[in-house]
């Protein structure tokens, strides 16, 4: 075999690897609701015991309750490499307003190692299982179930809204349906190829003041998150969502995820009869992708939290968050 033949065969193998998807597992919903309030508490307690075997300080699953079923229960879903502690201030605020609040730890996050290599084991099926479990628990803790998710948590929140009828309202903050700076037509090929190649982990220096974070990224985990997003997209195209209301919060400065992908899914939901609202923080604010974290260099949670709280309650957003039309195509930052 000459060199040209070898190159052609290599190109064919790479092309097939990028085109043919791996089996992603069962991403349909498998409900197993808690029977009552006490059963829900027992499930959370078991999850927290399991967390305590592997998680760093402040990284375990969080439950805030008023000792009984509440009129409203909020599920808060943290972002990639972070932990439930990311939502500490928001959870406390919602709890003070009378809500029960459940903040599950996403799989392989906030582990003792503090190393992003732990994230390489994350799968779309595990995220789906966490989503089902969270709704199964929350529905027994309150009458109205509201889900708020950031980034990866926003993707999981979208899955919940698409598949679980117990969910009334979904607030997605910069959800991760597509990676920024990669053309949409190449996203599927990138996912397939990334999962066939060996995992690549980029580790960042640990922050001893934040032991609940796993700084860096693992390529297999990112591909699995995007695979879950593609499953939401496919489901939204084919059937109505189970949730009645969706709110999409975008950040015009965000280069980590692609706003246009989120809007495309939101349009499908609206076409099927759901109530959909879109808001955005202007780029002039200079907010990071993780808009809720005041520990980020450019974070300004004092500007963000009032709107998140209002939208969680189904109220109008606060300034400087701006209402946007769902049918205006954004220019994704590059």
* Averaged pLDDT score across all residues of the chain: 88
φ and ψ of 73, to 5 deg: -125, 135
What is the phi-psi region of residue 171: left when phi exceeds 0, alpha when psi lies from -120 to 50, beta otherwise? beta
Residue 190 has pLDDT above 80, yes or no: no
Alpha helices in the chain (DSSP H): 3-19, 37-52, 88-96, 124-138, 152-163, 184-196, 219-238, 259-271, 301-312
pLDDT at 3: 32
pLDDT score of 196:
77
Q: List, in order, residues 6 or more apart from 80 with CB less than 8 Å away.
A: 119, 151, 152, 176, 217, 221, 222, 225
pLDDT of residue 333: 54
320 closest CA partner among 334, 296, 300? 300
Closest by CA to 194, choosing from 21, 7, 12, is 21
User: Could you tell me if residue 222 is inside a domain?
Assistant: yes
Tell me the CB-side half-sphere exposure of residue 1, using CA atoms within 13 A.
8
pLDDT score of 14: 36
- Planar angle of CA 170, 296, 284, nearest 5 degrees: 75
Q: Rounded mean pLDDT of 78-103?
A: 96
Contacts of 131 (CB under 8 A, 6+ apart): 156, 159, 160, 163, 164
What Rg, from alpha-carbon coordinates, does the chain have?
20
> What pLDDT, on the 0 to 100 scale, is given for residue 123?
95
What gap in Å lies between CA 10 and CA 165, rounded to an integer?
47
Q: Which of 61-65, 150-154, 207-211, 317-321 has the lowest mean pLDDT?
A: 207-211
Domain assignment present for residue 138? The answer is yes
Contact between residue 326 and residue 186 where contact means Cβ atoms under 8 Å apart: no
Mean pLDDT of all residues in 238-248: 97
Residue 165 lies in a domain: yes
Q: Of 20-29, 115-124, 166-175, which gets the smallest average pLDDT?
A: 20-29
Identify the DSSP state of 63.
E
- Asked whether residue 237 is domain-assigned, the answer is yes
In a domain, 329, yes or no: no
Strand, coil or helix: 277: strand
How far is residue 136's CA from residue 73's CA, in Å, rounded to a whole number?
Answer: 12
If one compares 273 and 218, the residue with the highest pLDDT of the two is 273
**What is the pLDDT at residue 117?**
81
Burial class (CB in 10 A: 0-12, 13-18, 19+), 18: middle
- The boundaries of the domain holding residue 125 are 33-183+203-324
Give the confidence band of 331 by pLDDT, cuts at 50, 70, 90: low
CA-CA-CA-CA torsion sign (158, 151, 247, 260) = negative
CA distance 149 to 248: 10
Residue 81 lies in a domain: yes
Top pLDDT among 293 and 50 is at 50
Mean pLDDT of 258-286: 96
Is 192 inside any structural domain? Answer: no
How many domains does the chain divide into? Answer: 1
Q: What is the CATH number of the domain that holds 300?
A: 3.40.50.1820
Identify whether 97 is part of a domain: yes
Average pLDDT over residues 230-255: 96
CA angle 249, 245, 38 (to 5 degrees): 105
Lowest mean pLDDT of 164-173, 193-202, 231-240, name the range: 193-202
């Amino acid at each position: 075999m000459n060199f040209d033949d070898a190159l052609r065969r290599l190109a064919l193998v790479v092309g097939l690897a990028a085109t043919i998807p791996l089996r992603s597992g069962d991403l349909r919903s498998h409900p197993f609701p808690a029977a009552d309030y006490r059963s829900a508490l027992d499930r959370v307690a078991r999850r927290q015991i399991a967390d305590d075997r592997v998680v760093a300080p402040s990284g375990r699953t969080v439950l805030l309750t008023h000792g009984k079923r509440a009129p409203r229960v909020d599920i808060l879903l943290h972002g990639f490499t972070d932990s439930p502690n990311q939502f500490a201030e928001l959870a406390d605020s919602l709890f003070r307003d009378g809500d029960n609040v459940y903040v599950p730890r996403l799989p392989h996050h906030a582990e003792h190692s503090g190393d992003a290599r732990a994230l390489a084991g994350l799968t779309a099926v595990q995220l789906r299982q966490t989503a089902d479990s969270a709704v199964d628990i929350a529905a027994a803790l309150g009458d109205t179930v509201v889900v708020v998710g950031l980034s990866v948590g926003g993707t999981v929140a979208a899955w919940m809204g698409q598949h679980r009828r117990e969910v009334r309202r979904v607030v997605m903050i910069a959800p991760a349906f597509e990676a920024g700076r990669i053309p949409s037509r190449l996203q599927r090929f990138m996912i397939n190829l990334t999962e066939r190649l060996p995992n690549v982990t980029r580790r960042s220096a640990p922050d001893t003041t934040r032991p609940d974070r796993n700084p860096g990224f693992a390529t297999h985990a990112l591909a699995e998150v995007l695979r879950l997003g593609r499953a939401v997209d496919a489901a939204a195209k084919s059937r109505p969502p189970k949730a009645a209301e969706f709110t999409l919060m975008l950040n015009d400065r965000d280069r980590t995820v692609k706003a246009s992908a989120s809007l495309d899914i939101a349009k499908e939901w609206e076409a099927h009869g759901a109530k959909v609202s879109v808001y955005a923080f202007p780029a002039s604010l200079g907010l990071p992708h993780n808009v809720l974290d005041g520990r980020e260099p450019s974070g300004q949670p004092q500007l963000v939290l009032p709107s998140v709280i209002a939208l969680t309650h189904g109220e109008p957003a606060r300034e400087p968050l701006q209402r946007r039309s769902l049918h205006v195509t954004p220019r994704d930052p590059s």
